[in-house]
Amino acid sequence: MSIIINYIYIMATKDEKMDFLKWKNNKRRKQTQSKVSRPIVKKSWQIEAEKIENLETLYTDFDSSKADVFEDFPLSTKTKAALRKHGFTKPTAIQKASILPALKGKDVLGAAKTGSGKTLAFLIPILECLYRHRWNSLDGPGALIISPTRELALQIFEVLCKVGCKHDFSAGLVIGGKDLKEEAERVCRTNVVVCTPGRLLQHLDTTSYFKLENLKILVLDEADRILDLGFSTTINAILENLPSERQTLLFSATQTKSVKNLARLSLCYPVYISVHAESRHSTPSGLKQRYVTCQVSDKINMLYSFIRNHVKTKTLVFVSSCKQVQYLFAVLCRLRPGVPIMHLHGRMNQPRRMAVYQEFCRKKFALLVATDIAARGLDFPAVDWVVQMDCPEDVDTYIHRVGRTARFHGSGNALLMLLPSEKDAMIQQLTSKKVPVLKSEINIDKLTKVDGRLQSYCAEDQELKEKAKRCFVAYIKSVHLMKNKAIFVVKDLPLNDYATSLGLAFPPRVRFLQRSMAKSKTASTDAKRSIDDKPETVKDSTKSEKAADTFDISDDEGNDLFSVKRDTTNITDDEEEQEEDLNLPDAKDENKKRSKAKEAKRLLRKGVKINQKITFDEEGGVDESWPPVEGAALNEVESEVEEKDAGGIDINKAKVEMQQRDVKDREKHRKKIAAKHKEVRLKAKEERRKAQRQKEQNKYRDNEDDHSEQSYSSGPDNDPEVDGDNEMQPIEVVGSSSVEDNDSSSPKKKRRKIEPEDFIKTNEDCLANLNTGMTLQEEENLVLHLLRKKQ
Ligand SMILES: Nc1ncnc2c1ncn2[C@@H]1O[C@H](COP(=O)(O)OP(=O)(O)OP(=O)(O)O)[C@@H](O)[C@H]1O
């Protein structure tokens, strides 16, 4: 091309050359001009990289104490936009203090009062961390948030969806009660995993392709709870799967400072941030706290009276165990105090739990009875009252429970019911931890008493009675297992009164308690003996006694996520059930049993017959009666003896009687079944026989003309068409199986398998039809004659 241009240039005239040079210069000038003015178009990733670089430089110069709004924070535009969108404009104290160190990549231990916005304090650094690392779905899990309960995990997930709505990360909720396989497929592609410890470990164990080796940031919400004994094995197993080079954030209203716990997390120069450490109280300022002292037997009356006086409020009631929740919920539903009643505990199935949680969030006025699964972290909107029917395990539990109200600058009320035995020690502990709780006096006489109604409910509803029994045992068990023996003294509980207040006539027997009391008795006598022998051993034996009473578990009975913190090895579930079922006579109950016997006598005198059922057979005779006549007679005799003894039910006698009745009943039942089977069998045979007869008659008619001989030998047993001579043949043939065997050539004979019953019937039928009109003697002679002839 250039050769051609050069050739043209040589050949061109001077003017032409001048023009060409002009044109060339002009073009060059324009080209250089356009190059200067055109802006450099950068790729989006380049812009993003620059922004991230700028953000990181801002971290060093930023003073969070001077920043009043999120807009001032060195955050990505996407995070800021989402915060704006959801109305989060001003950061709270904990957010101000902890976001910056977390952005800088430091390990943070954050502590602040309940409802002070700790969730955002860890969610914002998570989003920024992944944004800085330019994380995407192909990178898998980059952040992990562990929560102690499913409800709290769901709540965190919902807030994450709000503040992360402008980012492109994927987030997943990994909690129990869902399809594991389906979850496994998604969890590997999830960038931010919000989970409960048990479910996460399940995935780490079973989902082969789920790996956390790229994890950048780990968050433990309610860290002290997650790091306590209840979760220790699960958390240790999870930590083994995490990379050692990661950032760790721990948040709680009651933060752990246990070096042992923190050492497990291998924190790197952690920053401890406690924004309310210097404040006067450890609970929110808008929270009014009161306590009342009452007997355990007055608790339900007090709760009912409270509800009746606070119908237009949203109330959360805490009790110690699932079984107490179940019973309270059942009776409150029956009592209809005029407010929607809900319940939440760990033994409910997952969809139900979630439904209750969401419904209570939505409701304006409602009452939720719950165990401590609702104590931590849950942000139910506008709760007016928190009522603690049972004394919490410790002050931390108290702080979390009451923290469900008066959240985020709001106000609320808390009421704590204390037994006289619990009061002093608990109040002293609360005061020492800066919890301002005031005493309230209650006029017990003015309470609305519901125990009478509960007793009648229990009498008419066996299921409710069982619930009451379980509630009783569960409460005693929870008190027995509490760590702090200065507060929780099970032997001071008035068991009889408590049982009556639940609607039970007698307190169910709590066997583990009796055993443990017997143990402590022997321990104390041993100690006495050792005092006499060696004074220096006293200390040790008292210690061992205390150790026997001291247990080491948490109270989340029934919550599959909360594993037990206390040592329940001495009390098995089976035992508990037995204890609930058996109400064996006690020396103490002697009087009550006697009065029951008297009551029975009174009924007999009046002629009241209880639960009598008589069934008549077809002839009008008595087929069945309840109670059985023999049994009733037996009872009468026994009741006389019992009256003499006046000592309640004799279990051994009752057992023997029950066994005898059982044998009789089984025999009767067997006979009935056998008779029924026989009837069915006979019916079937009759039908078969009829069908066969019909078939053979038809065949006989068809072949009658052509093969008369054959017809006789194989013909019907009782064919009415056959004549005198031939009538005898079928009897022999049918009766003799050998004939059938020998004459294998005849297909007709083979077809029918003759049963012995058939034979009897057939012969009878044949004989009935073969009326020759001769005498028996004549017939015999004829038969003999024919046989001889045949031979
Ligand atoms: N900066 C903010 N601006 C407005 N509202 C906020 C802000 N931060 C948090 N909140 C609101 O405050 C309430 C309590 O927040 P959050 O649940 O995070 O408290 P918490 O400290 O984690 O409580 P707990 O100790 O009980 O777990 C929530 O309803 C939340 O939406």
The residue among 604 and 440 whose pLDDT is bigger is 440
Residue 529: the pLDDT is: 60
Q: 715-737 burial, b if ≥16 CB within 10 A, otherwise e?
A: bbbbbeebeeebbbbbbebbbee
Instruction: Say if ligand 1 is within 6 A of residue 115 CB.
Output: yes
In the chain, what is the greatest distance between 2 CA atoms, to the nearest angstrom? 164
| pLDDT tens per residue across span 183-216 | 898 899 899 999 999 999 999 999 988 999 999 9
Partners of 272 in beta bridges: 109
For residue 588, the SS3 value is: coil
Residue 594: the pLDDT is: 54
| pLDDT tens per residue across span 435-451 | 999 999 988 888 999 98
pLDDT band at 259 (very low <50, low <70, confident <90, very high): confident
What are the helix and strand counts (H, E) for the chain? 32, 16
- Measured over the CA atoms of residue 327, residue 329, residue 335 and residue 337, the dihedral's sign is positive
Distance 157 CA to ligand 1 centre (A): 14
| pLDDT tens per residue across span 277-332 | 888 999 999 999 999 999 999 999 999 999 999 999 999 999 999 999 999 999 99
Q: How far apart are CA 664 and CA 667, in angstroms?
A: 5
| Structural contact between residues 283 and 113, judged by C-beta atoms closer than 8 angstroms | yes
| Structural contact between residues 168 and 391, judged by C-beta atoms closer than 8 angstroms | no
Q: Which of 35-39, 110-114, 762-766 has the highest mean pLDDT?
A: 110-114
Structure-token pair, residue 382: 């506008």
| Structural contact between residues 475 and 297, judged by C-beta atoms closer than 8 angstroms | no
Residue 522: the pLDDT is: 73
Class of 46-274 in CATH? alpha beta
pLDDT band at 597 (very low <50, low <70, confident <90, very high): low
Q: Which of 189, 209, 203, 186 is nearest to 139 (CA)?
A: 189
Structure-token pair, residue 282: 């450890």
Preceding peptide of 627 cis, ω within 30°: yes
Q: How far apart are CA 675 and CA 556, in angstroms?
A: 55
Instruction: Say if ligand 1 is within 6 A of residue 407 CB.
Output: yes
Per DSSP, the residues of 221-244 read ETHHHHTSGGGHHHHHHHHHTS-S
Distance 117 CA to ligand 1 centre (A): 3
User: What Cα–Cα distance (Å) separates residue 1 from each residue in 77, 494, 775?
Assistant: 54, 113, 143
Instruction: Say if ligand 1 is within 6 A of residue 248 CB.
Output: no
CA of 253, closest atom in ligand 1: 25
Residue 723: the pLDDT is: 34
Query: Any idea of the CA torsion for 544, 545, 547, 551, to the nearest 10 degrees?
Result: 160
Q: Which of 541, 476, 553, 545 is nearest to 512 (CA)?
A: 476
CA of 403, closest atom in ligand 1: 26
Does the pLDDT of residue 226 top 80, yes or no? yes
Residue 258: the pLDDT is: 78
Nearest CA to ligand 1 atom 23: 115
Structure-token pair, residue 722: 């056959």
Partners of 344 in beta bridges: 370
Distance 340 CA to ligand 1 centre (A): 27
Per DSSP, the residues of 637-693 read HHHHHHHHHTSS--HHHHHHHHHHHHHHHHHHHHHHHHHHHHHHHHHHHHHHHHHHH
Does the pLDDT of residue 557 top 60, yes or no? no
Distance 343 CA to ligand 1 centre (A): 24
For residues 352-362, give the mean pLDDT.
95
Partners of 658 in beta bridges: none
Nearest CA to ligand 1 atom 29: 379
pLDDT band at 618 (very low <50, low <70, confident <90, very high): low
Q: How far apart are CA 342 and CA 325, in angstroms?
A: 10
| pLDDT tens per residue across span 512-523 | 777 777 777 676
Helix pair 77-85, 150-163: axis angle to 10 deg: 110
CA of 92, closest atom in ligand 1: 1
Distance 123 CA to ligand 1 centre (A): 11
| Structural contact between residues 110 and 255, judged by C-beta atoms closer than 8 angstroms | yes
Distance 195 CA to ligand 1 centre (A): 19
Nearest CA to ligand 1 atom 5: 88
Residue 781: the pLDDT is: 78
Residue 289: the pLDDT is: 97
Structure-token pair, residue 756: 């012995």
Rg (CA), the chain: 45
Percent of residues, the chain, with pLDDT higher than 90: 47
Query: Any idea of the CA torsion for 478, 480, 482, 486, to the nearest 10 degrees?
Result: 140
For residue 735, the SS3 value is: helix
pLDDT band at 649 (very low <50, low <70, confident <90, very high): low
Instruction: Say if ligand 1 is within 6 A of residue 403 CB.
Output: yes
For Cα atoms 532, 535, 537, give the angle at the middle one, nearest 5 degrees.
110
Match 């009468």 to its residue by tokens: 636
For residues 640-655, give the mean pLDDT.
54
Residue 761: the pLDDT is: 43
Per DSSP, the residues of 101-161 read HHHTT--EEEE--TTS-HHHHHHHHHHHHHHHTT--GGG---EEEE-SSHHHHHHHHHHHH
Residue 401: the pLDDT is: 97
* Beta-sheet pairing, 366-370 with 341-344: parallel
| Structural contact between residues 523 and 544, judged by C-beta atoms closer than 8 angstroms | yes
pLDDT band at 690 (very low <50, low <70, confident <90, very high): confident
CA of 408, closest atom in ligand 1: 12
Distance 57 CA to ligand 1 centre (A): 29
pLDDT band at 143 (very low <50, low <70, confident <90, very high): very high
Residue 619: the pLDDT is: 53
| Structural contact between residues 374 and 405, judged by C-beta atoms closer than 8 angstroms | no
Residue 613: the pLDDT is: 59
Q: How far apart are CA 454 and CA 331, in angstroms?
A: 7
For residue 324, the SS3 value is: helix
Distance 120 CA to ligand 1 centre (A): 7
Q: Which of 123, 97, 141, 119 is nearest to 246 (CA)?
A: 141
Instruction: Say if ligand 1 is within 6 A of residue 120 CB.
Output: yes
* Beta-sheet pairing, 412-418 with 385-388: parallel
Instruction: Say if ligand 1 is within 6 A of residue 110 CB.
Output: no
| Structural contact between residues 408 and 292, judged by C-beta atoms closer than 8 angstroms | no
- pTM, 2 dp: 0.66
- To which H or E segment does residue 250 belong? strand 247-252
For residue 164, the SS3 value is: coil
The CATH number fitting domain 287-445, selected from 3.20.20.210, 3.40.50.720, 3.40.50.300, 3.30.420.40 = 3.40.50.300
| Structural contact between residues 147 and 222, judged by C-beta atoms closer than 8 angstroms | yes
* Beta-sheet pairing, 622-626 with 613-616: antiparallel
pLDDT band at 453 (very low <50, low <70, confident <90, very high): very high
Q: How far apart are CA 210 and CA 203, in angstroms?
A: 7
User: What Cα–Cα distance (Å) separates residue 476 from each residue in 17, 479, 632?
Assistant: 113, 5, 39
Query: Any idea of the CA torsion for 688, 690, 693, 698, to the nearest 10 degrees?
Result: -110
Does the pLDDT of residue 607 top 70, yes or no? no
Q: Which of 148, 146, 160, 270 is nearest to 220 (CA)?
A: 146
For residue 508, the SS3 value is: coil
Instruction: Say if ligand 1 is within 6 A of residue 119 CB.
Output: yes
User: What Cα–Cα distance (Å) separates residue 568 from each residue in 225, 322, 369, 551, 565?
Assistant: 19, 16, 25, 8, 9
Long-range contacts: 254-258, Cβ < 8 Å, 24+? 254/111, 254/224, 254/396, 254/399, 254/400, 255/109, 255/110, 255/111, 255/223, 255/224, 256/109, 256/223, 256/224, 256/227, 256/228, 257/109, 258/227
Residue 174: the pLDDT is: 95
Q: How far apart are CA 144 and CA 146, in angstroms?
A: 6
* Phi, psi at 263, each rounded to 5°: -60, -35
User: What Cα–Cα distance (Å) separates residue 737 from each residue in 2, 750, 751, 756, 761?
Assistant: 122, 10, 13, 11, 16
Distance 595 CA to ligand 1 centre (A): 59
- Tell me the domain boundaries of the chain: 2-37, 46-274, 287-445, 605-667, 687-769
| Structural contact between residues 504 and 472, judged by C-beta atoms closer than 8 angstroms | yes
Beta-sheet strands, E only, within 556-616: 613-616
Beta-sheet strands, E only, within 382-538: 385-388, 412-418, 438-439
Alpha carbon 404 to its chain's center: 23
Instruction: Say if ligand 1 is within 6 A of residue 88 CB.
Output: yes
| pLDDT tens per residue across span 5-49 | 676 767 777 788 888 888 888 888 888 877 766 677 778 888 888
Query: Fold match between 46-274 and 287-445?
Result: yes
The residue among 546 and 457 whose pLDDT is bigger is 457
Instruction: Say if ligand 1 is within 6 A of residue 116 CB.
Output: yes
| pLDDT tens per residue across span 403-439 | 999 999 999 999 999 999 999 999 999 999 999 999 9
